[in-house]
Each structure stands twice: as structure tokens, then as C-alpha cells.
A and B are shown apart, each in its own frame.
Chain A
Amino acid sequence: MEKRVVFDGKLLPYALLLPQLIITLVFFYWPAAQAVRQSFLIEDAFGTSSQFVWFENYAHLFTNPDYYRSMLTTAVFSILVTVFSLSLSLLLAVQADKQIKAAGAYKTFLMWPYAVAPAVAGVLWLFMFQPSLGLVSQAIRSLGFDWNPTLNGNHALSLVVMAATWKQISYNFLFFLAGLQSIPKSVIEAAAIDGARPARRFWTIIFPLLSPTTFFLLVVNIVYVFFDTFGIIDSVTGGGPAQATTTLVYKVFSDGRLGGDLGGSAAQSVVLMILVIGMTAIQFRYIERKVQY
């Protein structure tokens, strides 16, 4: 028996889908198509004329050692941020899931960073770690360590990794906490009676049952580090020193907006888009199989 409500007419379904379709078209497909078109063009210095050059922008891109350096930076940055933000937030969620006093306040405080705008978060970290004024910097320096993210590329990279991780922990924490709370309590109790100590209980019962959440967060976090960390990098280091923190998305901005190379920057964004689509596809294809639903 047909239980669903069926509407007559062919117009209504399209009308209902239209707002979503318009948003997707205007804000995703149109800019994406523009980027693809732009990547085949070279503009003159004043932006008054453009010339169709086929794949010259791409050829130029892949012969530029700076681009490979940026790719390496992005790889290091994204792996560090994803690993740190996932593991730290899981640890925090596991602690919050225990019956502790003032658990509500604890959770609220953990969620706050998510409400802070990326640029503001960046400025916060910048102030704390600023070599001459920052409170944390002073503490580090007093320990005899020559901390200087404005001159040392590794210091700068670790600073943006910390800021980006801190920003993402809240989001991951919320999902991990919800995931933990959806595991039936009696299953954990059964494992306790079955003689599994807390650590073993976590790795053999809780972690496998959390795998759908972990997988979802992995995909979301990788997209986050690839795109949404722009604001943090821009406000903390501006891609420097000496391009040590120029990730792919930041390079798109700096080459296109600051360097005025619209064609080259468009080619970069097309490559970045293909990269992220490819990675997401791989994640769904290979990792999802290992997920326990």
C-alpha cells in the first residue's frame, strides 16, 4: 500500500527544490565555472583585457617550486590539525561523558571557541604568542627557548596549527559527546562485567561504536583545514615568514588578490577543488568500509 502523500502535478516538486538549487547554482557552480574559465586566461596588468592561453597557467603552476612547497606545508598542516583536533576533542568528550560535577559548565566552556570568528581567534593567539609582548611568549622565553614565530618558520607553523586545532576542537567535541551518549550504557556495563578494564573497554567497545562519528568528523575536519583555516593564517602570520605557513588556500588568495595573478590563482583553486573532491571520494570509498554502523 502506498503510504506516502503524493502531490499531483509536476510543478510543485521543482518549486520546492528551487531555492536549494538556486543557492547551489549561484554560490557553488557559478563561481566554480568562473574559476575554471579564468584559469584558461591571462589578464594584462591593468585588468582591461584578457587572453585565452589554454593550459599555460597550469603548466606555469606545476613548474613553480613554490607551489610544491605550499603543497607540503598544507599536507603537514592538515595532518597535524586533524590528528590533534580529533584526538584532543575525543579525550575531552570522554572526560565530559563521565559523571562529573559541573559537567554542564564544563561542556559550555568547551563549546565557546566555536563561536569565536576565525580572525578573532587568530588575533587572540597572535597576541598571546607575539615574541616581544605575548604572555605565553614571555613564559617560553624565560625557560630559555628562543621563541619567535615572526622569524622562525617552524614556530609560525606550530602557532597556526595550535590556533586552528583550538578552533576546531569545540565542533569535534560536540559530535564526539553526542556519539558517546548514544552508546547504550548497558553495553558498557556488560563489558565491565565481562572483565574489560576501562582502557580495553574504550578500544574494543567504545571506539568501534564511535567510528561513524569519527569518520564523519575526519571528512569535515579535512575540508576545514583545507579551506576554513584561511582566516587564522591571514591574521596570525599572513602566510609568512618566508611563506612557511602559506597553505594552498592561502596561496590562492595571496597570488590572486595580492599578487594580481588572477589566471594563476584560478588555476590553483581549480587544482585545490579537484584535490579535495578526490580526497573526500577516497575517504568514502576506502575508509567508510571499515566503519561499523
Chain B
Amino acid sequence: MSEVVLDQVRKVYAGNVEAVRGVDITVPSGAFCVLVGPSGCGKSTLLRMIAGLETITSGDCRIAGGRVNELEPAERDIAMVFQNYALYPHMSVYDNMAYGLRNRRTPKDEIDARVKEAARILEITPFLERKPRQLSGGQRQRVAMGRAIVRKPKVFLFDEPLSNLDAKLRIQMRVEIKKLQRALGVTSVYVTHDQLEAMTLADTLVVMNKGLVEQAGAPLDLYEKPASTFVASFIGAPPMNLIPVEAAEAGPKVTGLTGGKGLPVPAGGAILGIRPEHLVVTTDALPEGAVGLSFPVTAVEAVGAETFVYGPLGGSGQDIIARLPGKALLEPGTPVSVAATRDHLHLFDKDSGKRIGA
């Protein structure tokens, strides 16, 4: 059992800068929790507080049931993978991995067995005698992972470990990290600003904004029911179309928009959210509750499997993105009509951005 619990955790830096403003997160034992958000949202600070590299201003951090606020990083039984790997440049790969075990006075033959086992899992056995500078970025990443797993800690902490790798390697390492975590069953907290990485790795996804948790839950729940416009635009790529609409008798009202009858738009107006992938080209009559959008096409991006179509709603309003399957035969300048069904529509409060209804 190695559950990680954050209870009303706050971090205030000198000069009253509040980086983390009361965060509650529970990561069940063995789960993979991803903290995601834009830079400056407090996600890295939060991770460093779990690691013990930053002090906790108020609130509790508990690992495996015990409060760890006052413990040194070494006493928390955690391992961390840093963004720049933080390998010891003057030590061989072997010594890099053995260092933590030697500090804990592990018997020599056990160190040897554990390092070799980790090297085998991570396929870095041929490099054990090399220095970090003789390795490629991907190999260094593996050594950093190896240094974490030889210790058999209660918790793994990852601080944007893949952001220094190229795109292809990043996808490969992402899959490997997930596999490794599953196999070892170690509770993990992972920080990233990449929403795709977050969606694919997480059991629990926590979206953070300005030091607060915007929404936490299973990745697909966040995708399907974003709690706010912030989550709606952060999760999913390209981001959700957010259209300010006014309330009218027949439903939402804005130039270029049709249908949407029965949609509970409050009297003062609201923000209507539709994901680009839920828009389909249609010329037929709209089904009950569905919304139609028409706009002149201004740009078309064909990437093979799908096509992104851009244009201003109603010819002058907000820019709309539609993600159409295959090669959509559209030319810039031609008008297009797209529609989304009732269950793909999201309503958010005009001022607070919070979700309206279920």
C-alpha cells in the first residue's frame, strides 16, 4: 500500500506569491496520476512538495498513510525522474544507478543484482560502463528511469521526463513508461504540459490552473464532461470550439448558428462548446436538439487521415475548427454547413466558465 494523499496543500513563496492554493488529490496505491496544465499552474511545485524539495506552507502530504511534511527527500522512499535527467556526469551508468543503494548501505551483491536487473529491463546493459555524456538523449532517459527503479521506492515522481526528447522517441518512451509502471505496480505522479501525454498515461488525470485543481478524474470523463471552458480547451486537440451565444426562445442564438431547440441557455447568455471532431458536414434537416453551423471556409489542412477546416462563424464571428474524416473536398472561399448532435453539445457559464448541467 502506498497511496499518495494531498490534503489542502498550499505553497506561498516569499512576497506572497501563491503558487499552489489548496489542492486535494488522492492517488490510489499503484495508480498512475498525471498533473497537467499550462506553465506556471503550480504542477511542478506540487510534485516537488511531494518529493520534499520544496517545503509545504500549509496542508498535509501523506505517503502510504504517514504524514511526510517534515521528512527529508531521502526519508520519503520516493524516486524522481527529472526533466534534464540530472545524471551524475562523473559517474558511469552503473555507478549512477548504484549510488542511491550504496548510500543506503545495501549489500554489494544485491546492488549488483538490482542494477543488472534494471539494466536488462531497460535494455541499457551494453552501456553500463559508459559516462552519461557518451549516451544519446533516449539512453540517458533510460538511465534516469533505471536509477529510479533500482531503489524499489513506494512512489515514482516524474517531472516532464520526455520533454527533451524528439517527437518519435517521446511516443516510444511514453509507451514504455506506461508498460513499466504497470509491470512494477508502483504509485506514480507524473507532471507534463502535453495533453496527449497526459491522456494516454493517466489513470487519474488532474488538470491544474493558477494553483488550483480545475478537474480531476479518468481521462475520458474529462474529455466527455469537461467541468470548465479551461479543461474543455486544454483537453483534446485541436481544442474545443467555444462559441458565445445569447438566449432566445428557440434556444441559443448567434449569427451563423441554427437549431439547438430546447438547449437550456440561461437568460444572460452562455458559451456553447462543440469539439471539432463532433462536427459533420450536412445538408439535411437537423435532428431534434442538434446544432448547425455555417461558415465560409478560409483554410483547409489535409493531413491524410483527416482534414481540418477553418472559417469564421456566420462570415464574421468567431473562428470555427471542424475535424472531418478523410480528404474533405473543400476549397477555401466556399461556404460549408456542419452539425453536431445534442449529446455532443456542452454549455458553460458565460462569466465563470463552469459547466452548466450534466
Contacts and interface: CB of A to CB of B under 8 A. Distances in A.
Interface of A: 184, 186-187, 189-197, 200, 204-205, 208-209, 292
Given A190-B80, A193-B79, A204-B99, 11 more contacts: A187-B87, A187-B88, A189-B73, A192-B72, A192-B74, A193-B51, A193-B100, A194-B103, A194-B151, A195-B104, A196-B74
Given A189-B73, A192-B53, A193-B78, A184 B100 contact: no
A190 B53 CA distance: 10
Interface of B: 51-53, 72-74, 78-80, 82-84, 86-90, 99-100, 103-104, 147, 151
Contacts of B103: 194-196, 200
Task: Count chain B CB atoms within 10 A of each CB in A189, A194, A195, A204 and give the residue with the most.
Answer: A194
Contacts of A195: 74, 100, 103-104
Contacts of B87: 187, 190
B90 A292 contact: yes
B86 A189 contact: yes
Contacts of A200: 103
A186 B52 CA distance: 13
Nearest to A209: B90
Contacts of A197: 74
A184 B90 CA distance: 13
Contacts of A292: 89-90
A197 B104 CA distance: 11
A197 B75 CA distance: 11
B74 A193 contact: yes
Given A189-B73, A292-B89, A196 B99 contact: yes
A176 to B, nearest CB: 17
A204 B79 CA distance: 19
**Main SS at interface, chain B:** loop
A239 B80 CA distance: 59
A193 B73 contact: yes
Given A194-B100, A194-B103, A195-B103, A189 B82 contact: yes
- Give the secondary structure class of A's interface: helix
A3 B264 CA distance: 66
A99 B86 CA distance: 21
Nearest to A187: B86
A189 to B, nearest CB: 5
A184 B74 contact: no
A186 B86 contact: yes
Contacts of B89: 187, 209, 292
A107 to B, nearest CB: 20
B44 to A, nearest CB: 12
B53 A191 contact: no
Contacts of A191: 88, 99
Contact of A208 (B80, B83, B86, B90): B90
A186 B84 contact: yes
13 contacts: A186-B84, A190-B80, A190-B86, A191-B99, A192-B74, A193-B73, A193-B79, A194-B74, A194-B151, A195-B74, A195-B103, A197-B74, A209-B90
Q: What are the nearest 4 A-B pairs in CB distance?
A: A194-B100, A186-B86, A195-B103, A195-B74
Contacts of B78: 193
A180 to B, nearest CB: 15
Nearest to A201: B103
A265 to B, nearest CB: 46
A197 B147 CA distance: 18
Nearest to B104: A195
Given A189-B53, A194-B99, A292-B89, A184 B84 contact: yes
Contacts of A209: 89-90
A200 B99 CA distance: 11
Nearest to A200: B103
Contact of B88 (A192, A193, A205): A205
A191 B87 CA distance: 9
Nearest to B74: A195
A193 B99 contact: no
A191 B104 CA distance: 12
Contact of A193 (B80, B83, B84): B80
